[in-house]
Structure 1
């Protein structure tokens, strides 16, 4: 008996031809960062990789920018003040989520 895999909806974005997968290189990071700093994202992440000369899908570029390359992202450990605030709030409210009443 032949068993086929059924897919619902659209194919994942990286299943397209000529789209690179895997870890980002320094050259790709530099190209994406330079393009966005000079031109902005324009809100069209699908067209951005081609304009920036990157062989990635738009979703991958968007996530890379938002989670790693934006200039206002803080990398590294918490400061002493941030750590103290987290600890004091944990002691006060615990680990439960706060739900609106």
Structure 2
């Protein structure tokens, strides 16, 4: 990409619309960086899950998010099962 020259005028000479136009790409880059950082953290946290689902493939961001959702659903179901099976054990009169 060829270098570009940007001449910035002092803030007091810019209209609010021009200020927003200059600020928008910076804010958007910060937003994308936050998203990418969080996706990378998910990837590191769920490394074992990725090996189980897709052992030798390059993971796209969508893959990382899908595996994270799948893992969270699975954990939620396991938690519900253990909660209900524990409640049943203690409430059932035949287990005493």
Q: Normalising by structure 1, what TM-score?
A: 0.27
Q: Which has the higher helix share?
A: 2
Bigger RCO (CA 8 Å, 6+ sep): 1
Bigger Rg over Cα: 2
